């Protein structure tokens, strides 16, 4: 992050440069908020552009910790921005934009993962989440944090080849056949590895999944 700072922000934008997070320098949150609010004051378009510039990347990075697919993470974050615009709530955001965005993205990402692993995924799961997750309890916050940590742990503990194939499939958006060709494996082997990875993920969520399942009945 520190190394690429210069590429991100033109040198003349010194006021923005100060906003950039840096291990040695505390991110000035208040200033971030100030910039966003003054951008929204000039026009909603400017406001949204600023929100995207400041928060899109870290939000995607955070959502990926849950869903482990780049496209899905980007869709989730994009949808949160879109809903923020569509509902018009950008004008009345309580607390900070950062809190609103992170809470909404985490809420969506968590629900997406839960639905995927417990088999309740529907076509509308992504779009129809009206609830933006703004009324979370400390327990919810911790549940979310534990969730992405567990996902990470599962993936870390996959056998090397299985992990490699899983990441190629989910992050590079490669077809099983392409992966098989590149690694010189049979298609069936690749599919087996993918199935194994998903099964491991599901196994970790099984206690939670069962709870949810019982709740449904």
**Please, which residues have CB within 8 angstroms of residue 49's CB and are 6 or more apart in sequence?**
39
Residue 29 makes contact with another protein by CB under 8 A: yes
Smaller CB distance to another protein: residue 149 or 161?
Answer: 149
Query: Alpha-carbon Rg of the chain, whole angstroms?
Result: 20
Question: Is residue 112 within 8 Å of residue 76, measured between CB atoms?
Answer: yes
In the range 149-208, which residues lie near another protein by CB under 8 A?
149, 152-153, 171, 188, 195
Of the candidates 21, 125, 185, 200, which one interacts with another protein according to CB under 8 A?
A: 21
Q: How far is the CB of 70 from another protein (least distance, A)?
A: 6
Q: How far is the CB of 158 from another protein (least distance, A)?
A: 17
Stretch that binds another protein, among 41-49, 125-133, 159-167, 177-185 (CB under 8 A): 41-49
Total Cβ atoms within 10 A of residue 29: 13
In the range 112-151, which residues lie near another protein by CB under 8 A?
118-121, 138-139, 141-142, 145, 149
Q: How far is the CB of 113 from another protein (least distance, A)?
A: 14
Of the candidates 89, 96, 125, 189, which one interacts with another protein according to CB under 8 A?
A: 96
Q: Residue 175: name the closest of 192, 191, 196 by CA.
A: 191
Q: How far is CA 43 from CA 38, 56, 98, 187, in A?
A: 9, 19, 19, 52
Helix (H, G, I), strand (E, B) or coil at 22: strand
């Amino acid at each position: 992050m520190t190394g690429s700072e210069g590429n991100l922000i033109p040198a003349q934008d010194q006021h923005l440069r100060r906003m950039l997070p840096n291990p040695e320098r505390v991110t000035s949150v208040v200033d971030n908020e100030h910039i966003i609010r003054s951008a929204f004051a000039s026009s909603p378009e400017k406001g949204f552009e600023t929100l995207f510039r400041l928060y899109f990347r870290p939000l995607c990075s955070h959502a990926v910790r849950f869903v482990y697919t780049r496209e899905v993470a980007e869709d989730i974050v994009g949808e949160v921005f879109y809903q923020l615009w569509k509902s018009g709530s950008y004008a009345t955001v309580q607390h900070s934009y950062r809190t609103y965005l992170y809470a909404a993205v985490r809420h969506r990402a968590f629900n997406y993962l839960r639905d995927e692993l417990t088999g309740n995924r529907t076509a509308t799961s992504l779009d129809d989440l009206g609830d933006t997750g703004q009324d979370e309890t400390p327990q919810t916050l911790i549940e979310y944090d534990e969730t992405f940590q567990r996902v990470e742990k599962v993936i870390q503990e996959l056998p090397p080849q299985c992990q490699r194939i899983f990441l190629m499939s989910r992050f590079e958006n490669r077809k099983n056949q392409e992966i098989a060709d590149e690694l010189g494996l049979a298609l069936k082997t690749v599919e087996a590895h993918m199935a194994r990875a998903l099964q491991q993920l599901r196994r970790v969520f099984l206690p939670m999944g069962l709870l949810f399942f019982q709740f449904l009945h």
